[in-house]
């Protein structure tokens, strides 16, 4: 039973990672690429959590926390950068 659940979650995470990588490659905007990168980091964190649950260990817990913080801080930073660029008046 555990092996079938592991196989299903691996397929789902692989499809999600493939979709995120495709969105990173295609774009069309910077915000799309940043969001796709955030999704890819979430997929990586989910894969690490599944590995910890299946093998009954906590070896990757700090890595999951670090990936989550990096994803959050990166997304907020880019969102603020884009918001600041949109608020500035265009000088011609």
Give the residue extent of every domain in the chain. 2-87
Distance (Å, rounded) from C-alpha 78 to C-alpha 66?
Answer: 18
| pLDDT band at residue 90 under the 50/70/90 scheme | low
Predicted confidence (pLDDT) at residue 91 exceeds the cutoff of 90? no
**Helix axis angle, 2-26 to 30-55, nearest 10°:** 160
Mean pLDDT, residues 63-88 taken together? 89
pLDDT tens by residue, 39-64: 999 999 999 999 999 999 999 999 99
60 secondary structure, DSSP code: T
Q: pTM for this one?
A: 0.85
């Amino acid at each position: 039973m555990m092996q079938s659940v592991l196989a299903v979650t691996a397929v789902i995470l692989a499809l999600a990672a493939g979709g995120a990588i495709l969105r990173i490659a295609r774009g069309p905007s910077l915000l799309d690429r940043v969001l796709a990168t955030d999704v890819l980091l979430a997929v990586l964190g989910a894969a690490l959590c599944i590995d910890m649950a299946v093998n009954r260990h906590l070896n990757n817990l700090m890595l999951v926390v670090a990936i989550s913080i990096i994803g959050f801080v990166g997304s907020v930073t880019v969102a603020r950068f884009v918001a600041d660029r949109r608020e500035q008046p265009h000088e011609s």
